[in-house]
Amino acid sequence: MYERQLIFNNIDLFSSNKKTKFYEKIFDVIDLSEFPMYIQSKFGPKGFNRHALFRSFIVMKAEKIREITELVNFLDTNPYIAYLCGLESFKALPSYSVFQRLIKNIDNDSLKNIMKSQVLKLKELGFIDSSFVSCDGTPIFANTKQNNPKSFAKNKFSKSNHPKSDLDCKLSVHTASNSHNKKKYDFYWGYQNIVLTDAISGLPIDELTTTADVCESTICIDFLKSTNSWFSLDETYFIADKSYDTRKIHNFIRYELNGHAFIPLNPRNTKKKKMLNKSNVICDAGLAMHKDGRQYFDSYIKQKFCCTFRTKKDDSLCPCKHPKYFNGKKNRGCTKYISIGNDYRASINRDSKFFKKIYAFRTDQ
């Protein structure tokens, strides 16, 4: 305590500098009114100021401090920053257990309300809007030895070998990139965080954390509906990678939000057929096939192609001697089909300069 008193007697430690001005501005604008300062209890002391603890965690992230013990040491050697957080100057700093208890007991809805108020304030000041928004997910690895690449544990990524240190995490796969057809991937136990950002400023608008086994495309629409209820996404340009390439997401963006989607096509393991041009398929023998009728569905047209020699009786005409050419039927030879989309998703020209320019906002930030 004597050494700490000497620190407080040194006025130079409390002089304003670049770092302290940074925290002064942050703490002046952050709204914690909906976050209870103290937990109401009939028994025992009221405890530490939860607003001060919350601001301390902001310092922890801004200073890239990984451990709570390091945070306590940082606040101890920077008393003015601790004072800006709301901690009392002449009292002992909160212990490790106090900070840990806040993390475990804090209500996620309270954090979301704080984020919403800050986002709406930024929108009011003109820093962000919904003209161009980008959505993407990032993996959150659980703190378990199964995720350690240096661990020699057996069956690390077996569903029957669930991590005992985190019973809520799930098993999933993390690909190296969604922009290209790369087969490099890694298994991991954990969660994923989906973030909706303003593509121009790079500032976050909303976020959603799920277990790692949840597919981003399955919850995207509900996530956008939730965001749109308090932050209007009307007429937005929605940018995302090919994992969001589904017909439902495209239609929701276009017809529910009155916006436009900038999402690359996801082939989803479909076999690419050889084409002579945009309208004719090439058969296994290298010959152009003939169109032979269509089937019409709600969102696409199924075009049928038949063999060039389907009505011929000469068995030597097929260059590759395809088994189906000798089927003994009136119309011989093989058939192929292609799907022609007639919905909004199929109408997007992804090779245009306009599409590529807008999609580039996703990686410019």
Q: Which domains does the chain have, with CATH numbers?
A: 2-106 (no CATH), 112-262 (3.30.420), 290-345 (no CATH)
Which residues lie below 8 Å from residue 91, measured CB to CB, with a gap of 6+?
none
Host H or E run for residue 211: strand 204-211
Tokens matching residue 9: 């007697």
Contact 249, 135 (CB under 8 A): no
What stretches in the chain show pLDDT beneath 70? 1-16, 41-42, 44, 176-183, 269-274, 276-279, 364-365
Burial 39-76, CB ≥16 within 10 A → b, else e: eeeeeeeeebbbbbbbbbbebbeeeebeebeebbebbe
What's the pLDDT at 165?
Answer: 87
Q: How many Å apart are CA 198 and CA 361, to the nearest integer?
A: 10
By the 8 A CB rule, do 220 and 165 touch? no
Q: What is the pLDDT of residue 176?
A: 60
Numbers of helices and strands, H then E, in the chain: 12, 9
Determine the pLDDT at residue 36: 86
Residue 110 in tokens: 């309270």
* Residue 46 tokens, joined: 């009221």
Q: For residue 308, give both structure tokens.
A: 């060039």
pLDDT of 260 reads 96
**In angstroms, rounded to a whole number, what is the distance separating the alpha carbons of residues 242 and 177?**
10
pTM: 0.78
Q: Tell me the one-letter amino acid at 158.
A: S
**Which pLDDT belongs to residue 269?**
61
Q: What is the pLDDT of residue 11?
A: 46
> Residue 10: its pLDDT value, please?
53
Phi, psi of 258 (to 5 degrees): 55, 35
Contact (Cβ atoms closer than 8 angstroms) between residue 301 and residue 337: no
